Structure 1
Amino acid sequence: MLKKALVTGSAVGIGRAIALDLASKGFDIAFHYNKSAEAANQGSQKATTYGVKAIALQADITKPEQARHLVENAAEKLGGLSVVVNNVGNYLGKPISQVSIEEWHEVINSNLNSNFYVTKAALPYLKAANGARIVNFACANAQNVVARRTNAAYIIAKTGIIIYTKSLAVELIKDKITVNVVSPGIAENSLDLEKMILKMPAKRSATLAEINHAVWFFINPNSDYITGQVLEVSGGWLL
């Protein structure tokens, strides 16, 4: 497999952990950020300690042209792309009747549209890689179509990610591209962690290493036959 990866939203948190994990496995990495330049540059510098090439690229990927430029720059500077991890997506916790038009557009743009823009721009490079991976991020229980009291807009976007992923998976298997979803629950970097842990069957949050493991399961060369799947990393939460 060509070891060239773009991880969106990788300046901090889950995205950074994924990018560094891939670097440790020999992947050249494009760290993407919107506003956190210093953190992204620090991440890319750390990645180079694994003996790989790492770059930090800025883009507001809710804008189609910026998403396209991000992908083009990443592919040019890394010498191609074989893996795209779409990690960007802002949370909104609010009853659906109270969501403003501006908030609606923001949550759909950051979670769903950005994924579409980046993936669409990346497809020519992924097809040329002769064996590529797309890993998208939803959230725990997003594939269960039920009412949501406080985060409906966010879940609508994440459920959309799952439908988008499955549709792409069917279309792209002929091109030797797999498309899958990782759906975390509460992670160690989540907000209101102590309060949320009380609701968890496992009585703890997911570690970033556990989320990395799920992402790597789909990227691993032995996963060529696995596509269109959703892997929850939620410790039994919301089952």
Structure 2
Amino acid sequence: MIRPDLSGRTALVTGSSKGIGRALLLALAEAGASVAVHYHTSGDAAERAVEEARARGAPETTTVRGNVREPDAVDHMFDAVEKDIGPVDVLINNVGDFAPQHWEEISFETWNRVLETNLNGTYLCSKRALPAMREAGYGRIVNVGYAGSEKALVYPKNFPYFVAKTGVIMFTRMLANDTQGDGITVNAVSPYVVENSEEFPDELPRGRPASFDDVRQAVLFFLDEDSGYVSGENVEIDGGWIPERL
């Protein structure tokens, strides 16, 4: 079990009121970080996540609401976190959105929403976090991608999601290169099917979906102090799945 020491650090996990984001947030609380629970519409779930984070040992906690697609909302999110518990040292860009329909059935508004939430949200939050990280000479950014995004998936269903997640991996590598001398690492974890997925394929790698713990361990590796030379990497958490190209 990887257990980094995040004492004295402030962590923001986007989309952390439930699901993978909540599991990651609680892991950071256990590692000693002060944590900000981000949500957009799930306020009650965010309050419950804060209560559990406190029970897991987080020195300070807060909730922050905002739509990561909107630049002003992202600014307000970070302003609130900085005021309540301090500048963000650890950023997990987890929040995402789907469009499981065939691409021809997706409206332009849905297409934009999926791209903006997954890709633009990662860009906006990372850009907003960087000045404080650079000033501190320390920062950890972990982006959540999707297994197979580096293999140029071209499935007609959920296509804007694949486009966005491929962009997330490209952004991860660019930002890792651009922050080499700043004490900042930027990496990605890319799950396939996770335990809380709404749909499961007929055959799962190793006979099961990825657990929250599978994802958590990869993220904690990137946050460990001994992993400071690892940047620009993407760990696919897929049980050895090889996607078909259509």
TM-score, reference length from structure 1: 0.95
Whether 1:178 aligns to 2:182 is no
Whether 1:237 aligns to 2:237 is no
Whether 1:53 aligns to 2:60 is yes
Other-structure match for 2:103: 96
Other-structure match for 2:3: none
Tell me if the contact between 2:153 and 2:162 (Cα under 8 Å) persists in the aligned partners: no
Q: CA deviation at 1:201?
A: 2.5
**Within 2, Cα distance between the matches of 1:42 and 1:35?**
14
Instruction: Note closer, same or farther for the CA distance 1:51–1:111 as it changes in structure 2 (3 Å cut).
Output: closer
**Within 2, Cα distance between the matches of 1:142 and 1:184?**
10
**Within 1, Cα distance between the matches of 2:228 and 2:219?**
14
Tell me if the contact between 2:14 and 2:21 (Cα under 8 Å) persists in the aligned partners: yes
Q: Could you list the per-position Cα deviations for residues 42-100 of structure 1 after superposition, in whole angstroms to 9, with x for gaps in the alignment?
A: 11111112152111111111111001110121122112221000001111112223321
Aligned positions of 1:1-239 closer than 5 A: 2-49=8-55, 50-193=57-200, 196=201, 198-238=202-242
**Within 2, Cα distance between the matches of 1:92 and 1:45?**
32
Give me the identity figure in percent: 35
Point out where structure 1 has 5 or more consecutive residues left out of the alignment.
Answer: none
**Within 2, Cα distance between the matches of 1:223 and 1:145?**
28
Q: CA deviation at 1:149?
A: 2.6
**Within 2, Cα distance between the matches of 1:105 and 1:146?**
19
SS in 2 for 1:222: helix
**Within 2, Cα distance between the matches of 1:225 and 1:77?**
31
> What is the aligned-residue RMSD (CA, Å)?
1.3
Instruction: Note closer, same or farther for the CA distance 1:93–1:51 as it changes in structure 2 (3 Å cut).
Output: closer
One-letter amino acid of the counterpart of residue 87, structure 2: G
**Within 2, Cα distance between the matches of 1:145 and 1:221?**
32
Q: Could you list the per-position Cα deviations for residues 88-117 of structure 1 after superposition, in whole angstroms to 9, with x for gaps in the alignment?
A: 111111222332111111101111111111
Q: CA deviation at 1:186?
A: 0.7
One-letter amino acid of the counterpart of residue 59, structure 1: G
Q: How many residues align?
A: 236
SS in 1 for 2:207: coil
**Within 1, Cα distance between the matches of 2:124 and 2:74?**
6
**Within 1, Cα distance between the matches of 2:50 and 2:135?**
25
TM-score, reference length from structure 2: 0.92
SS in 2 for 1:231: strand
